[in-house]
Amino acid sequence: MLLDATRKFDRPLSLSRLCRWQAALFPTGFSGLHRVRTGKLRGSAPMRVVSGPAGKPKLHFEAPPRLILPAELSRFITWFNSPPAGLDGLLRAGIAHLWFVTLHPFEDGNGRIARALTDMKERSKLYGEMQVIDKEDAPDMKIAHSVVYEVMRKEVTGYKQSPFGAHQFNGVDVK
State whether 116 and 152 are in the same domain: no
Per-residue pLDDT 10s for the chain (175 aa) are 878 887 788 899 999 999 999 999 999 999 989 899 999 999 999 998 889 998 998 988 899 999 999 999 999 999 999 988 888 877 888 888 899 999 999 999 999 999 999 888 666 555 555 444 444 444 444 444 333 433 333 455 555 555 555 545 455 444 4
Q: Supply the pLDDT for residue 154.
A: 44
- Please tell me the distance from the alpha carbon of residue 166 to that of residue 100, in angstroms, as a whole number: 29
DSSP label at residue 74: H
Quote the number of domains for the chain.
2
**Phi, psi for residue 51 in degrees, rounded to 5:** -145, 175
State whether 111 and 170 are in the same domain: no
Q: How far is CA 68 from CA 1, 34, 41, 60, 117, in A?
A: 26, 26, 12, 20, 22
State whether 100 and 23 are in the same domain: yes
Q: What's the domain range around 32? A: 2-132
State whether 31 and 84 are in the same domain: yes
State whether 13 and 42 are in the same domain: yes
State whether 68 and 96 are in the same domain: yes
Q: Quote the Cα angle for 111-112-118, to 5°.
A: 90
CATH label of the domain that carries residue 42: 1.10.3290.10
- Please tell me the distance from the alpha carbon of residue 70 to that of residue 115, in angstroms, as a whole number: 21
